[in-house]
Structure 1
Amino acid sequence: MSGALYTRDILRLAVSIPHQSRLDKPDGTAEVRSRTCGSRVAADIIVSEDGRITDLGIEVNACALGQASTAILAAEAIGKSAEEIAAAREHLAGYLAGAEAQPGSWDNMEHLCAARDHPGRHAAIILPYDAILAAFVAHKNEVV
């Protein structure tokens, strides 16, 4: 059994989300909502010619776990491609589902371990990844 769900580290992350302002002229933007918990994440991205995030604006309305997950992702997102964000999302989702031994290799991901035993929180944890990936899709649709 994992320890406390809302640890000091989760709460610290939840109040320290980087890039917490929307961008004026994003290349791609998306807002996603969780049907299971009502969380909402909006993401704006600026993408380089080689398909990597050069700037990020993110707005989150979620529980502390969703906010902590957003903080972890936002701290890592600059310089990442859609494929790298998708791979991190799939690994984290696999961990939450019991298929992976660790939640991922990015800084602070180990703080999400306690959430594995709380499936009702999984949607909020995955939501920021879905928002950024949807912003990439919006960008690609604009470019085509």
Structure 2
Amino acid sequence: MTAKTDMIKLYSQRILALAADIPHHHRLEAPGATVRRRAPLCGSAITVDITCKDGVVADYGQDVKACALGQAAASVVGGAIVGCSREQVIEARDALQRMLTEDGPPPAAPFDGLDVLRPAQEYKNRHASIMLSLEAAVEALDTACNA
């Protein structure tokens, strides 16, 4: 495969569609926690706002300034995270990391849509951007669910 063919495969129609339609793409007025994370290599950044009630995500907001892969990951996370426990989000983060670096299975439902990012395994310089939304969410949940 040529480099151009690899890039076309990486930026599939599904990834581009997810990147164009990010759920909860707004900031919360009164979040329980706010976390901003940045991927230094590519400059992608995300700000996550979370409120937690009874140990699960009650509301979620995000401001995403990332490449299409980071946007696609944020889209899947934004569509799945409300109603999830901190443990579910940690499991999704860890599974996504294993999927990208060890060819592990995709995260379990409701985060199984992250499997669309499997073609990025070979592009280590994109991994940090893909991981941003779940890493920020876990960090925010550490504060919001313990407040």
Provide TM-score, normalisation by structure 2.
0.88
Cα distance in 2 for partners of 1:126, 1:42 equals 13
The aligned amino acid for 1:52 is: V
Displacement of 1:107 after TM fit?
4.4
- The Cα of 1:131 is off from its aligned counterpart by 1.1
Q: Distance in 2 between matches of 1:138 and 1:63?
A: 27
Match of 1:136 in 2: 141
**CA shift digits 1:12-60 (9 cap, x unpaired):** 0001110000000011111111122211110101110x21001101111
Using the aligned pairs only, state the percent identity: 36
Gaps of 5+ in 2: none
Matched AA of 2:113? N
Gaps of 5+ in 1: none
Does residue 62 of structure 1 match 2:62? no
Q: Which residue identity lines up with residue 36 of structure 1 in the other structure? A: L
Match of 1:18 in 2: 23
Q: Does 1:41 align with 2:71?
A: no
Whole-Å Cα distance in 2 between the matches of residues 9 and 99 of structure 1?
Answer: 20
Q: How many residues align?
A: 140
Moved over 3 A (4+): none
- The CA distance in 2 between the partners of 1:117 and 1:90, in whole Å, is 18
Name the SS of the counterpart of 1:4 in structure 2: helix
Q: Does 1:103 align with 2:106?
A: yes
| Deviation of the 1:126 alpha carbon | 0.4
